[in-house]
Structure 1
């Protein structure tokens, strides 16, 4: 597995401190984020999942703890929209340039607005996908927020 991806290159260019963690990705896992948390031995709320959604038909990136679900109502409100829905996996892959299970918020092919769940900002460090299945990036949540110019909002149901 390569530890150099568009995501890691993006962070290096932005001079953001991070550590790479690899694990055995299970393609049959019901919930990829929870499987990643278990594999690397950290609480699930520290492993943040990257989801692609649409607010009023505009693409957005949403980052929430892997053990929580996104509230579509709160997501729409975070982007001053009326409605939100999850993006189809094929559309998410085309937009980001990453495969589902390996979608990183960093270094996506097309930059879209990003929102991070507010509770994640309370952690000393979090894990985000590194741009391929089985690769996590450990970093301070404030560094992730700054690198992505992300909104901080209450997004979970």
Structure 2
């Protein structure tokens, strides 16, 4: 069962997939109905999930499930991963590259490779107040309250 993204309860579980590039307007227009269809049909052991899906900042695919209604099972999570992999192929974009970090700078998402991080911190291009898109946020309430958040409030704090 599809739930509009802004109507999810705070405890709804999230899976955030970060694209390696911004999606074009045409791609966003094409992907939105696919996301809604997937959320509508997403199930766990034959029981429909109270699910939603959303694109944020042109670069983040967020799948969500109200776990208090029906928990996602391993099989249903596998279905979601397969769905995201299909999107990767169709749109020629990578959603599973964990070597890139995303920051909000001047209103835009800036991608920084893990291998570049120390140099960017040393040069002052990234500091403790730079807003970081932590893809490990796992519930809707935290996404609403603190996403993106200052790098010092994330696992990146060790670099400052």
The verdict on a shared fold, with TM-score over 0.5 as the criterion, is no
Between structures 1 and 2, the one with greater helix share: 2
Which one scores higher on RCO, CA 8 angstroms, separation ≥ 6? 1
* Higher alpha-carbon Rg: 2
TM-score (norm 2): 0.26
